[in-house]
Amino acid sequence: MLDKIKPTFSEGGRLSMLRSVFDGFETFLFVPNTTSKSGTHIHDSVDSKRVMFWVVLALVPAMLMGMYNTGYQHYLVTGQSVGFFQTFFWGLLAVLPCIIVSYVVGLTIEFAVAQAKGEEIHEGFLVSGLLIPLIMPVNTPLWMVAVATAFSVVFVKEIFGGTGFNVLNVALGARIFLFFSYPSKMSGDSVWIAVRDYFGFGKAQATVDTFTGATPLGQAAASVGADSMTLTNAVGDPLSWWDMFLGLIPGSIGETSTLAIVLGGLFLICTGVASWKIVVSVFGGGAIMALILNAFAVNPYMAMPFWEHWCLGGFAFGAFFMATDPVTAARTEAGKWIYGLLIGMLAILYRVINPAYPEGMMLAILLMNIFAKLIDYCVVQRNIKKRMKRAQVAIKK
Amino acid sequence: MTKQINIKKGLNINLQGAAAKERATASYTPLYAVSPIDFHGLLPKVVVKEGDPVKAGTPLVIDKKFPEINFVSPVSGVVKSIVRGEKRKLLHVVVAADTKTEYVTFPKRNPLEMTGAEVKEALATAGLWPFIKRRPYDLVANPDAKPKSIFVQGFDSAPLAPDYAFVLKGHAAEIQTGLDALTRLTEGQVYVCLPAENAAPELEKAQHVEFVRLKGPHPAGNVGVAINHVDPVNKGETVWTVNALDLVFFGRLFNQGIVDLTRLVALAGPAVYQPAYYSCKPGIALSALVEGNVHKEIPLRYINGNPLSGERVEKDGFLGFYNSQVTVLHEGSDVHELLGWVMPRLNMFSNSRTYFSFLIDKLMPKRQYDADTRVLGGERALIMSGEYDKVFPMDILPERLVRACIVKDLEDMEALGIYEVAPEDFALCEYVCTSKIEVQKVVREALDLLKAENGED
C-alpha cells in the first residue's frame, strides 16, 4: 500500500512538500529495503532508530515514577488520602500535557527542517522530546515548555547542523533557557508541587498548614549558616535516605526517583547505549568532591554525605541520561573518564558552595559539554605526539 | 624469530555458507577477462586489438605511468572484445580461451641468485608485479620505491574467507621461491603473518623470513594490523604487502618459467547451495562458478572477495585479479520487514547489545547467521562514540581519523596515521556503524586526495 502512494510524495509529486514526513513514517513502519551500493555489503542490524528508542525505553521507569510522585505530592499537600491508581492518574493528567507539547513542538520543527534540507528525519528528538518534560518542574506553564523546546531545537541543535553536530545537550538547552529567562518559574518553593484540579480530580487548594514546596536541595542551600540542617518533605516530616532514593520528594518531574533512574540507566549500560565509564566517573567525581567538602565542613550542608548527594536533585538523572549523550560528551575513551569525573565534582561544588543555584548538575554538564572537545583534543594529541616521535626517530635512522 | 601479537578488539561475524574443504570443478567457459577496474588508480592502456591471438602471459594492458608493468592474459586464445563503460573507461579486455593453454615461456631462475632489479623486471614482464601492493595508499606497488619491509598476508580472518592451510597444501616449493624473490626486493625484513592456530605448514616452514603470529578476532588477518604493531609506516616510508596465495604464482614463474595463475577459489555465502573450492584462474567468467549452485528466483549479490571489503560484481562479470573468494548473498531488496528496528530480531547478528546475539552466541558459539545486503538504517551524522574503536585493533584513533577524512583535513589525517591504513582496515567500522557511514569509501577518497596532494606516482 505504501508503495502505491509513494509516487505522490516523491520529488515532483503532488504532495512532495511532505516527502520527509512520508519517508519518516515509511521507515518507521518498514525497514527500508535499500541495499548497500559500495563498501561493506553486509551491515550490523543496529541503527539510530533503535538506539534512540532504547533510550526512550530506559526513560519509562523514571517517567512513570515521576507521574506517581507528582500525584503523591499533590495529595500530600492537599491532605487527601487516595489509592495508588488515583494518585498515579492525577500525576498522569498533570504530566502528559507537558510531554505532548514537547513532542508536538519539537517534532514539527524537526520535520520542517528535514523537509527543507531534503534529508530523512533524524531520530534525535525522540529522546530530547521526553527528556525535556522530565527535567521541568511540574508547574511550568505549557507555553514555556513550548517556547523552550522550540528555542533549544532551533538554537542549540539545528543551527549547528542537526543531530550529531550539537555542542550542548538539547534537553538541557531547553531547561537553561527557562532557568535564566523565567527564574521564578524554575526555582523557589512554589513550582515543584502541582496544586490544581483536573475534571474534579485533586484540589486547587493546599490544606496542610506547614506546606513548604522547597526541594531538599533548596532547603539545604537555605540552611547554610544555620547550625544544623534537617531536610523535610512538603508537610514537614523529616526525610530519610530511602525517601530520597525512592523519590517521594519534590523536584523536577523525572529526576526524583533514583531507583527508577538506576533501573533505566542500568538497562542503557547493559545494552551498551550509554557509556558506563561516564556514569561511573560522574558518581565517582560526585563522591570525591563530597568527601573533600566533608573534610572541610564549616556548615551542615558541606557535611552532607555523598550518598545523599547522589539521590538528591538531578544528579542521578544527569549522570545516566544527560552526561552520557554521546554527541555532546567526550568521545575518546580516556576523555570519558575525565569528562565524567569533572561533571560529578563540579555538580557537587556548585550545589554546596554557590547557594544561588541549588542544583549544579545542569550547569556542570553544560559546562563540560563545552569542555568535552578540549578534553578530546588533549587525548588525541597524545596519540599524535607518539606518532610524531616515531617518525622523527625513523628520520634520524 | 617470531613476534606474538594478541588482539582483543575486533569482531568475528559467523556467516552461513563457509566453503567445504573439497574441490569442485568449475563448468567450462571460454570467457576470461583482465579488468583494469580491479586495480584502483590504474591508468590503463590496451596493447592488443580485438582478434589478436594471445598466450597465457601475453600482455594485454600496461600502466601508462609505469609502462614496464604488464597486465597479462591468464589463458591462451583470442582477444574477443574490449569493453568500455561511461567516458570510454576501460572495463574489461575479454579473451576467448582455447581448450588447451599455451604459455609464454620465461627463463627459469633462482631468485636468490638475482639482483633486486632483475626480480622486479621478471615479475613486471610476467604480469605478476600487480600482486605486490603498497602502504601508504593501498595501490599497486611503485617499482621505483624502496620499501622498508614487506609483509606477507598468511591467513585471512574475514567472514567466509578461504582456509590458507587447505589452499596452500602442496605448494611449499613455490612459496619458498616466492618468498626468496621478495627478500631481494627490500633491504629490510620480509614478515609472514600467521594465525595463532591452524597456520599453513607450507608457510610455517618457510626460510629467510620473520614470522608474526596474530591471535584474536577479525581483522587479525589483515596485514595492516601486523604492520601497525611490528613496523608502522611513517610519512615518507613505504611498506609493501603481498598475499601468500599469490606467492605460488611467483614460485611457478621462477621454478617452471610460466605464468600459471591457477588457484583455488572459495565460493561461499548463505545463498550458495554447495559452498566449495573451485580450481580456476583469475578473470574467469563468474557464471562458470555459480551457475546451478545458487537460487534463481530471488535477487542475489555477487561479491569478488569477502562480504566486508569485497567488490560488487554482476552475475555476468568476472572473477577479480586478487580474489580467492567469491561470496554470494541474498540481496534483500525484496524483503519488507515490519517495524524491524524495534523487534528482537533473534535471527540477526549485531555487535550492538541492543540485540540478543551477544547472549545467544555465548550459549551457542557455533551459531551461524544469514545476512543480506540491506543497509538496515538511514545514514546519519556520527552519533555513537567508541563504536569504531571496539573493532579497530591498531594504535590509531579510528573515529578521529575518519572525521579528518570526511572533512578532508590533510594535516590531521597525517597526524592521526592515515599512512598506515588501507580502506579494508575500516571494513568492520563500516559494518558496525550505527550511523551507516560509508567509512571505506571515505578512507579511499582521502587516500586518493592525499596522494594527489603529495604529488606521488
Q: Look at residue A85 in the predicted model and tell me its pLDDT.
A: 86
pLDDT in tens, A331-358: 999 999 999 999 999 999 888 887 677 7
pLDDT above 90 as % of chain B? 64
Q: Look at residue A227 in the predicted model and tell me its pLDDT.
A: 66
For range A149-164, the mean pLDDT: 88
Cβ–Cβ gap A30/B354 under 8 Å: no
For range B385-397, the mean pLDDT: 90
Q: Look at residue B125 in the predicted model and tell me its pLDDT.
A: 93
Residue B387: name the closest of A268, A332, A321 by CA.
A332
Q: Look at residue B294 in the predicted model and tell me its pLDDT.
A: 87
B contact residues 56-115, partner A, Cβ 8 Å cutoff: none
Could you say which of B354, B378, B399 has the minimum Cβ distance to residue A273? B354
Residue A77: name the closest of A232, A187, A188, A194 by CA.
A194
Angle, helices B116-125 vs B244-256, to 10°: value is 100
**Residue A11 clears pLDDT 60, i.e. is over it:** no
Closest residue in B to A50 (Cα) is: B341
Decide: residue B375, CB within 10 A, 0-12 exposed, 13-18 middle, 19+ buried: buried
Peptide bond into B219 cis (omega under 30): yes
Residue B382: name the closest of B419, B429, B415 by CA.
B429
B309/A contact by beta carbon, under 8 A: yes
pLDDT in tens, B243-296: 999 999 999 999 999 999 999 999 999 989 999 999 999 999 998 888 888 887
- For an interface test with B, the pick among A26, A40, A160 (most B C-beta atoms closer than 10 Å) comes out as A40
**Residue A366 clears pLDDT 80, i.e. is over it:** yes
For chain A, the structural domain boundaries read 1-28+48-212+222-268, 274-397
Q: Look at residue B184 in the predicted model and tell me its pLDDT.
A: 93
B-chain CB neighbours of A390 within 8 Å are: 232, 234
Please answer whether residues A361 and A321 qualify as being in contact, where contact means their C-beta atoms are separated by less than 8 angstroms. no
Higher pLDDT, B402 or A46: B402
- For an interface test with A, the pick among B146, B228, B327, B341 (most A C-beta atoms closer than 10 Å) comes out as B341
Spatial distance between the Cα atoms of A377 and A369, rounded to a whole number of angstroms: 13
Min Cα separation B385/chain A (Å):
5
B341/A contact by beta carbon, under 8 A: yes
B436/A contact by beta carbon, under 8 A: yes
pLDDT in tens, B331-379: 877 777 777 677 777 777 888 877 777 777 777 777 888 888 888 777 8
Spatial distance between the Cα atoms of B121 and B116, rounded to a whole number of angstroms: 9
B contact residues 8-67, partner A, Cβ 8 Å cutoff: 13, 15
Q: Look at residue A5 in the predicted model and tell me its pLDDT.
A: 60
Q: Report the topology of domain B264-344.
A: Ubiquitin-like (UB roll) (3.10.20)
pLDDT classification of B297: cutoffs 50, 70, 90: confident
N residues, chain B:
457
B257 — alpha (psi -120 to 50), left (phi > 0) or beta?
left
Spatial distance between the Cα atoms of A396 and A386, rounded to a whole number of angstroms: 16
SS3 label, residue A181: helix
B-chain CB neighbours of A120 within 8 Å are: 378-379
Spatial distance between the Cα atoms of B403 and B398, rounded to a whole number of angstroms: 9
Structure ipTM over 0.90, yes or no: no
Helical residues (DSSP H) of A30-169, grouped into ranges = 48-77, 84-117, 124-134, 142-151
Half-sphere exposure of A309 (CA within 13 A, CB side): 33
Q: Look at residue B378 in the predicted model and tell me its pLDDT.
A: 77
Element (H, E) at B300: strand B300-304
Q: Look at residue B78 in the predicted model and tell me its pLDDT.
A: 94
Q: Look at residue A28 in the predicted model and tell me its pLDDT.
A: 67
Instruction: Number of helices (H) and strands (E) in chain B: give both, helices first.
Output: 12, 21
Higher pLDDT, A71 or B250: B250
Min Cα separation B382/chain A (Å):
6
CA-to-CA dists, residue B75 to B32, B100, B167, B193, angstroms: 8, 9, 21, 31
pLDDT classification of A1: cutoffs 50, 70, 90: low
Closest residue in B to A58 (Cα) is: B354
Q: Look at residue A125 in the predicted model and tell me its pLDDT.
A: 86
Question: What CATH number matches the domain at B2-13+109-256, 3.40.50, 3.30.1240, 3.30.780, 1.10.390?
Answer: 3.40.50
pLDDT classification of B120: cutoffs 50, 70, 90: very high
Spatial distance between the Cα atoms of B161 and A384, rounded to a whole number of angstroms: 34
Average pLDDT, chain A: 83
pLDDT in tens, A78-116: 777 788 888 888 888 888 989 999 999 998 898 888 888
pLDDT in tens, B177-224: 999 999 999 999 999 999 998 899 999 999 899 999 999 998 999 999
**Residue A12 clears pLDDT 60, i.e. is over it:** no
Spatial distance between the Cα atoms of A175 and A76, rounded to a whole number of angstroms: 27
Spatial distance between the Cα atoms of B111 and B35, rounded to a whole number of angstroms: 29
Element (H, E) at B165: helix B164-167
Cβ–Cβ gap A33/B333 under 8 Å: yes
For range B65-69, the mean pLDDT: 91
Could you say which of B303, B327, B351 has the minimum Cβ distance to residue A44? B351
Are β-strands B276-280 and B263-268 bridged in parallel, bridged antiparallel, or unpaired?
Answer: antiparallel
pLDDT above 90 as % of chain A? 25
B-chain CB neighbours of A33 within 8 Å are: 332-336, 374
Q: Look at residue A235 in the predicted model and tell me its pLDDT.
A: 67
Please identify which residue in the block is written with the cell numbers 525517601: A243
Spatial distance between the Cα atoms of B413 and B446, rounded to a whole number of angstroms: 8
Min Cα separation A214/chain B (Å):
38
Please answer whether residues A57 and A130 qualify as being in contact, where contact means their C-beta atoms are separated by less than 8 angstroms. no
Cβ contacts below 8 Å, chain A against chain B, sum to 203
For range A358-383, the mean pLDDT: 90
Q: Look at residue A352 in the predicted model and tell me its pLDDT.
A: 84
**Residue B399 clears pLDDT 80, i.e. is over it:** yes
Spatial distance between the Cα atoms of B161 and B324, rounded to a whole number of angstroms: 8
A-chain CB neighbours of B385 within 8 Å are: 275, 326, 329-332
Q: Look at residue A376 in the predicted model and tell me its pLDDT.
A: 92
Min Cα separation B152/chain A (Å):
22
CA-to-CA dists, residue A11 to A134, A220, A320, B303, angstroms: 39, 59, 42, 32
Higher pLDDT, A201 or B311: B311
Please answer whether residues A239 and A208 qualify as being in contact, where contact means their C-beta atoms are separated by less than 8 angstroms. no
Q: Look at residue A17 in the predicted model and tell me its pLDDT.
A: 61
Cβ–Cβ gap B436/A50 under 8 Å: no
Cβ–Cβ gap A275/B399 under 8 Å: no
A-chain CB neighbours of B350 within 8 Å are: 44-46
Report whether CATH 2.60.40.1180 matches the domain B28-97.
no
pLDDT in tens, A205-239: 666 655 666 777 777 777 766 666 677 776 667 77
DSSP letter for each residue of B373-407? SB--S------SSSTGGGG--SSS-HHHHHHHHHT
For chain B, the structural domain boundaries read 2-13+109-256, 28-97, 264-344, 375-454
